[in-house]
Structure 1
Amino acid sequence: MKHIIIIGACLLSAALLLLLTIAGADTDFFGRKYRLLIQLNIGFVLFLVALVGYLLWSLRCKLKAGVFGSRLTLRFLLILSLMTIVPGALIYSVSIQFLGKSIDSWFDVKVDKALESSLNIGRALLNKQLDDLNKKTRAAVPTLSRQSLALLDLKQLLELTQAQEATVLDEHGEIITFSNTDENVRSPNIPDAGVLSLARTQGTYGAIESVTGKGLYLRMIERIPVDASGIKEDIYLLQLLQLVPKEVAEDAEIVQTVYRDYEELSLSRQGLKGFYEVTLTLVLLLSFFSSIAVAFLISEQLSAPLGMLAESTRAVAQGDFSRRNLVKSNDELGVLTESFNLMTRQLEEARTTAQLNQNEVESAKTHLESILANLSSGVLVLDERFCMHTANLSAEYILQVPLIDLEGLTIEECAIRKPSLLAFVNKILEGFNSEETGDWQSQMDHFEEGLSQVLLLRGTRLPVASGGGGVVVFDDITNLLQAQRAAAWGEVARRLAHEIKNPLTPIQLSAERIQQKFAEKLNLEDAKILRRSTETIINQVRTMKAMVNAFSEYARAPELKLRLLNLNELIQEVLSLYEMKSENEKSHPLIRLLLDPNLGLIRGDSARLRQVIHNLLQNAQDALIETTEPIITVRTEMVKNHVQFSLSDNGNGFPDHVKIRAFEPYVTTKIKGTGLGLPIVKKITEEHNGTVQIENIHPRETRVSIILPAATENDLTFDYKIT
């Protein structure tokens, strides 16, 4: 719509300029329509001013809003406007000066005198002819006055005077007689009453007159005295008309017209200047504002493709390759637009291909990360400088170190940052340094915050073509070794129990029989020696039997009789036996119960769990023998979906080297201990799908915690056995 208005305004401006041009050339049209044209042009100039103002305001709004391409439109507009305004203003100023000087030159003194001289020459020539005619007329009048009016021969007079028409009139203008060289003329040319009156009064009249349709004539009138009438008062007039030669008449007419026009122009010199100045000013304003409007149109037409290309370029820079610009021309802009469209298509295809490749890489990476995340083995990836590149979650879990904080550091720097990794790092460096090519494998003991782990490490170098570096895979085989060791100890215990238990009973019976048979036959001193010896044998046999029974208990895998149990009740039942036993002893530890009344039920074998509680209480009592104020604390609580039972004492705690191997058979700090109490506790706990932990709580407290799964809703409706 805006383009249509601008084009229409320019066409209307051209039409008004054309009308001004016509008005300046056509005097009649100018006289009739000039004021209306001036008003129309002024009104249209105001309309163009408003249109240009609106266009400038809209461009300012676009610039303020940061519309892309508006600055380019402004630049084109300024260039095109300057190309129009500067030449137009220069031509206008030159035209005004030239017009002023030209108009002034029209009224130069020489021109004025030349025109006046030309007019005088023409007048002199005509006056000369008029004088000649006057002389001829006067010469003929005396002859006519002596003749009778009825006998006048005007044709002879015409030949004599070389006039074209002769007429005799009375004083009232009535025709007495007339003659004309043209026989087709039926009536003479009668002068008006004023001319007749002047001729009667003065007796003569001569003038140069223009006869309508016949040209320029010399009119001469002379009064004729007529004696034949006998009345002297009668007055007759002789009129002669002589045609001025056509060339002379035309030249005289031209000179007269030019002189008259010159006089009129001379009188309106300033008005003429003002007229042309107003006309030129209107032409300038119409041209100026029309050019600005057209400059807007051209600027938008030129900047629109470039603006679209620039906007599309910005979209491409932001990653949008779907932009396609319409090719509207076959010029350089069209070629540029087509090249841009081709480039965006190629970029979009390249991005699609790259995206597909990236998706494949991401998919492979995600798959690999998923595999690494779900591996139970720890995996470390090292680059060519042996900097930590990648570590999976299992590696952090096994080493108990947040390895993500160490990524990008060399493994030596990792050991400095985390001293607990020093032995681990040294083992890796030792493996890679010992095997320049191929794989290596090693086993080590790893200590972290009082925990001992046995790690199995396997390493391999990566190909140099892929960047070099290496991969270390390691597993925590502590539980595996413990299971193997437990199985081995179980087998040993089973065989020892079988091989040792059989001869113990005969030994005990033989010792009792020897004492019974020979005690009375010996003297008192020898009998005492015999009794002490046999009692020693019997006590040692009993100790051996207890040890064998412990071996059997550790080695056998009895059938579990799982029932719904309340652990609080089971603990109180076992503790009641210890309270009865403590009443007969002088010093016994204080037992504090912190039982959770809302403790959930568990599924377990009551006999096996009693043995767990008994072993823990017995160990606690043994650890408090040398403590002045022994205290045992028994606590139960719910931990998420598990039941936790913990027993703590204020004894000396476990030494670190013992704590690490506390659940291994025959590891004990007691002189008479078998070292099977805690291994049995761990075995029974694991049979119930639970876990057991040992903590030294400083300054003087040791806590053993057992965590068992709580019974579910399904467990409340079923009761079954698990072997």
Structure 2
Amino acid sequence: MTSAETTASTLRAPSAEPNAEARGFPLRRWLAPFAVAIALLSAFLTFVVLTGLTPIEPTSDVVRSFLMINAGTILLLVGIIVREVWQMVQARRRGRAAARLHVQIVGLFSVIAVLPAVLVSIVANVTIERGLDRLFSGPTKQVIQNSLTIASAYMQEHAQLINGDTLAMANDLAHARPLYDQDRMTFLQLMTAGAESRNLPVAVLMDKDGKIVASAETGVRLNYEAPPPDILKDINETEPKISVFPENYVASVVRLRAYDDMFLYVARLLDPAVVAQLKQTQTSAAEYAQLETRRLGIQVAFALMFAVIALTILMASVLIGLNFANGLVSPIRQLMGAASEVSTGNLNVQVPVNKSESDLALLGEIFNKMTQELRTQRNELVDASETIDSRRRFIEAVLSSASAGIIGVDASGTIGVLNRSAEKLIGHAESETLGHPLSDVLPELDEMMKTAREGTQRLVQGQVTILRDGHERNLSVRVSAEQTSQSRDSYIITLDDITELVSAQRTSAWGDVARRIAHEIKNPLTPIQLSAERIRRKFGKTITEEKDKSIFEQCTDTIVRQVDDIRRMVDEFSRFARMPKPVMEGEDVADVVRQAVFLMKVAHPDLDIEADIKQSPLPAQFDRRLISQALTNIIKNATEAIEQVPREELGKGRIDVVAQRENDDILIDVVDNGIGLPKVARARLLEPYVTTRAKGTGLGLAIVGRVLEDHGGRIELKDASDFRDGQRGAWMRLRFAVTGQAAKPENKPESKDQKPDVKPDKTEPDSEKNPPEEPTNGPAQATNNEPKIQEPTQEPTQEPTQEPIRDPADQGPNNQEPNAQKPKFKAATSD
């Protein structure tokens, strides 16, 4: 792990080996600077040794040693860099934060370091090459050669001069040989005069052993060096031996004639400045020659030196770039790691801030402040969300407990809120409606929604009729528009089920019609009947012709018969308008069922009418006469429904009457295999004057429903297939409370139409004149036409008026309609 990775890893998770990491970190921290220092030092020593700036002679072994040292330091730097780069590549492969940026920064530093180093090396080598070329060029060599020639010429000239003086003075001394033997003083004077005349500060005679025999007195003291004896023995009389000495003098020695092994040694002083220049010239020429022989070595040394320096600079730059990248990437990696934590929802994360990082430290402080603000805002949002959620739960509780259906619709017409009452009213579950367009779920409200969107009214009210699963419901609808923060309207739709209210209004209207019919029609019936009978008695005897008498009898009989039919209908109207108040007494339901079944079996021996009493006795509080009347009416409707089935399809007609107790209710089920109930508008059969039979008055089931309501119950209309699989026909269930009190509202089915309470009057008991109530709206006629539903034309709610279907009893003998206009009814037929 690099130093940058070590710093960044502390943000995500603690190190698995903190002690080892603490021990390794200082080594990684100081190893690179130490290697760079060693490399620079070795490069510097190599430079000074190869350039001869030290006493160390740059021999091949020394050069090889220094090159090996430099190679070792370079390899050390390369190893460190390779390790760091490898760890960076591994970090990038693992997807570490800021790994790509780390590589880019190091690469940039490497390029910046490499280019100058390479350029400097190239320029330095070219400069050295050109400098050496210039140094060892022809003009330079010519100048040095000319200097050496001049120096040689100068020395040669002085040698020639002293050579001539030496031979001349030797010749003089050879002629003065007698003086040497006879008069040494004169000889010395002659010798001194000869030396002075020739500008020879030194003139001596010496034997073969170099011992001075005589010396000229020139007055100039010169420390000279006498030639050794081995040189003297090789000197002859004609060729003096000349030598130049560093003490700025030139000497010459020659063998003397006429003397036995005697030599003349003379010396002459030279100009010191000239001699110094001559020496310098010779030294420079020697050095130049030596430098020329070492040119290739110098070039190689400088190339290696620059290469080492360039590599050292490169490695140092790369390491510096690594350290810089680590210092730059480490806080960035910490920020990226912290940002990743924030993205997962952890707002408690904080990045360490190092003041030495300046701008990056400021960025860390800003990030920490941001996370603190986000944490504070999130906490506030959580609190607000909890408050909103609490309010939402409260509103949902209110909506779920509200009896009215409530639907929330957004501006696009999509349902967003729906309570349980609305689910029941529209017949769709919440999962089937939420997120769906209102026009698909409840298309009956399209016109009202269009009016609400037009904005002419903030509150739109109306009534709609919906049909769900064969049940028709009347809904009172209120649509209110609400302005949202986005300047778009949302809508709240309130639904109230007014089916029972409409039914009660219809029942009330029909009750009023029944009272008026009973009052207006019943009074003239008796005079009409009496008049017809009187006409028949008075004028029957006067008509003698058989044909006329027959017509007369038929007309009077028709009048009497039709008056009786009208009186029966008026009695039914009166009975519906003035339902008797039930007298609750303790009775046995099982006994009532057995008697009703027995009577109907006697009346219809061709049908199988069976009673199934689950419990006997079945005690309950009820009005025996009214319950018996209601049960008889339902069984009679069943027999009529069976009669409407063709014989080839029916087989054997069957009616099952099942009585049992369910919790606090008494259940009496009447199941037949007749034509069955209509699928459409089935609940309307319980309303007065709604019938599916051509001759029905539509009061039978309405009276049965009123009786059961007075006993705290209801009548339920079902299909026989729900009672017994595969059976055709209808299933009528009479449900009333054991105690005779009203049933709880939640036990009422959705299809039940509640009737308003009407104070009834007591009717006469069943007799021959007033038999059990004739069923007038029994099971539906399963024909290819819609069921006929008869209603009054004048009622509180708006209903479409259709052509009436009149009872044949309303027509005269000649099938002519009476002058009195009958109420109109709506026509419908069953399947």
Structures share fold, TM-score greater than 0.5: yes
* Counterpart position of 2:286: 260
Secondary structure of the structure 1 residue equivalent to 2:243:
strand
Contact residue 50 and residue 58 of structure 2 kept, 8 A = no
CA separation of 1:73/1:144 partners in 2, compared to 1, >3 Å: closer, same or farther? farther
Q: Which residue of 1 aligns with 2:114?
A: 85
Which residue of structure 1 lines up, in the alignment, with residue 470 of structure 2?
450
- Which residue, 474, 480, 489 being the options, matches 2:495? 474
Distance 2:283 2:158 in 1: 21
Answer with 117-126 or 442-451: which moved more.
442-451
Please report the TM-score for the alignment, with normalisation by the length of structure 2: 0.57
| 1:589 aligned partner | 608
Which residue of the other structure, out of 123, 130, 147, is the alignment partner of 1:118? Answer: 147
* Partner SS, residue 624 of structure 1: helix
Residues 72-96 of structure 1: CA deviation (Å, up to 9, x unaligned): 4444445444444344434433333
CA displacement, residues 378-404 of structure 1 (integer Å, 9 cap, x when unaligned): 113355687755332321112213576
How many angstroms apart in 2 are the aligned matches of 1:135 and 1:71?
92
Q: Is the 8 A contact 2:584 2:623 kept in 1?
A: no
Aligned to 1:375: 402
Deviates most, 321-330 or 613-622: 613-622
AA matched with 1:701: G
Deviation, structure 1 residue 19? 1.9
Task: Give TM-score scaled by structure 1 length.
Answer: 0.64
CA deviations on 1:430-486 (whole Å, 9 max, x unpaired) are 99999946x687677654323244545555554698855553333335578999999
> Relative to structure 1, is the Cα distance of residues 124 and 652 closer, same or farther in structure 2, using a 3 angstrom cutoff?
same
1:168–1:178 Cα contact (<8 Å) kept: yes
Q: Give matches, 1:589-628, under 5 Å.
A: 589=608, 606-607=619-620, 619-620=634-635, 623-624=638-639, 626-627=642-643
TM-aligned CA deviation for residue 114 of structure 1: 2.0
Deviates more, 1:665-674 or 1:652-661: 665-674
Q: For residue 73 of structure 2, what is the aligned residue in structure 1?
A: 44
Q: CA deviation at 1:110?
A: 2.5
Q: Deviations over 1:113-142 (max 9, x none)?
A: 321222232233334444555555552665
Structure 1 position 195 matched with structure 2 position 240:
no
C-alpha deviation, 1:42, in angstroms:
2.7
CA positional deviation for 1:40: 1.9
Measure the CA separation in 2 of the matches of 1:127 and 1:386. 128
Corresponding residue for residue 218 of structure 1: 250
Partner of 2:538: none
Cα distance between partner residues in 1 of 2:296 and 2:586? 137
Match of 1:271 among 297, 313, 319: 297
Number of equivalent positions: 615
Quote the Cα distance in structure 2 between the aligned partners of 1:589 and 1:614: 21
**Deviates further, 466-475 or 306-315:** 306-315
Structure having the higher helix fraction is 1
Aligned to 2:549: none
Matches within 5 A, 1:5-44: 5-26=31-52, 28-29=55-56, 31-32=58-59, 33-44=62-73
Distance 1:435 1:617, change over 3 A: farther
Q: How does 1:131-530 map to 2 (within 5 A)?
A: 131-134=160-163, 139=169, 142=174, 147=180, 160=196, 170-172=207-209, 189=225, 194-199=230-235, 204-210=240-246, 215=247, 218-223=250-255, 232=260, 235-237=261-263, 245-302=271-328, 324=351, 326=353, 328=355, 356-357=383-384, 360-382=387-409, 390-402=417-429, 414=439, 417=440, 422=444, 436=457, 447-453=467-473, 455-457=475-477, 460=480, 462=482, 468=489, 470-476=491-497
Change (3 A) 1:572 1:172: farther
Contact 2:676 2:730 survives alignment (8 Å): yes
Q: What is the aligned counterpart of 1:108 among 125, 128, 137? A: 137
- CA deviation string 1:393-421 (max 9, x = no partner): 3211122135765667876xx2xx45x75
For the Cα contact (< 8 Å) 1:666–1:676, is it kept in 2?
Answer: no
Deviates more, 1:477-486 or 1:653-662: 477-486
* Structure 1 residues 693 and 149: alpha-carbon distance in aligned structure 2, compared to 1, 3 A threshold: farther
Structure 1 stretch displaced more, 460-469 or 43-52: 460-469
Question: CA 1:303 to 1:463, structure 2 compared with 1: closer, same or farther past 3 Å?
Answer: closer
The whole-number CA distance in structure 1 between the counterparts of 2:719 and 2:730 is 5
CA distance in 2: counterparts of 1:644 and 1:195, whole angstroms = 167
Within 5 Å, which residues of 2 pair with 1:539-558?
Answer: 555-556=582-583
The one-letter amino acid paired with 2:70 is N
Equivalent pair of 2:597/2:610 in contact (CA under 8 Å)? no
Hey, what's the Cα distance between the residues in 1 that align with 2:202 and 2:50? Answer: 45
State how far apart, in whole Å, the 2-side matches of 1:132 and 1:703 are. Answer: 168
Q: How does 1:654-665 map to 2 (within 5 A)?
A: 654-655=677-678, 659-660=682-683
Query: Match of 1:266, SS?
Result: helix
Structure 1: distance between partners of 2:469 and 2:293: 123
Task: Say whether the 8 Å CA contact 1:178–1:188 is kept in structure 2.
Answer: no
* Residues 239-295 of structure 1 deviation map (CA, whole Å, 9 limit, x = unaligned): 566665543343222212111111122233333333333333333333344434434
Deviation per residue, 1:555-599 (Å, 9 max, x gap): 3566899xxxxxxxx99997899699969974342659899xxxx
Is the CA contact 2:671–2:720 (under 8 Å) kept in the aligned structure 1? no
The amino acid across from 2:63 in the alignment is: Y
CA distance in 2, matches of 1:435, 1:556: 56
Change (3 A) 1:194 1:252: farther
Q: Report the alpha carbon displacement of residue 24 of structure 1 after superposing the two structures with TM.
A: 3.5
Quote the Cα distance in structure 2 between the aligned partners of 1:632 and 1:180: 186
Change over 3 Å in CA distance of 1:358–1:199 after alignment to 2: farther
- Deviating more after overlay: 604-613 vs 377-386: 604-613
Q: Residues of 1 paired with 2:628 and 2:139: CA distance?
A: 147
1:145–1:434 Cα change, 3 Å = closer
**Is residue 762 of structure 2 the alignment partner of residue 701 of structure 1?**
no
- Structure 2 CA distance for partners of 1:354 and 1:263, relative to 1, 3 Å: same
Deviation digits for residues 146-189 of structure 1 (CA, Å, limit 9, x no counterpart): 6479979999969858778788765456787999999999x985
Distance 1:665 1:678 in 2: 10
Q: Is the 8 A contact 1:10 1:294 kept in 2?
A: no
Structure 1 residues 278 and 390 mapped into 2: Cα distance closer, same or farther (>3 Å)?
A: same
Q: Aligned partners of 2:368, 2:501: CA distance in 1, in Å?
A: 66
- Long gaps (5+) in structure 1: 488-535, 562-569, 596-601, 710-723
Contact 1:85 1:288 in 2 (8 A): yes
Counterpart CA distance in 1 for 2:361 and 2:32 is: 25
8 Å contact from structure 2 (residues 590, 613) kept in 1: no
Q: Is the 8 A contact 2:88 2:103 kept in 1?
A: yes
- Measured in 1, the distance between the counterparts of 2:216 and 2:401 equals 146
The one-letter code of the counterpart of 2:71 is I
CA contact (8 A) 1:662 1:678 kept: no
Does the Cα contact within 8 Å between 2:471 and 2:680 map onto a contact in 1? no
Q: What runs of 5+ residues in structure 2 fail to find an aligned partner?
A: 4-27, 509-563, 644-649, 722-726, 738-831
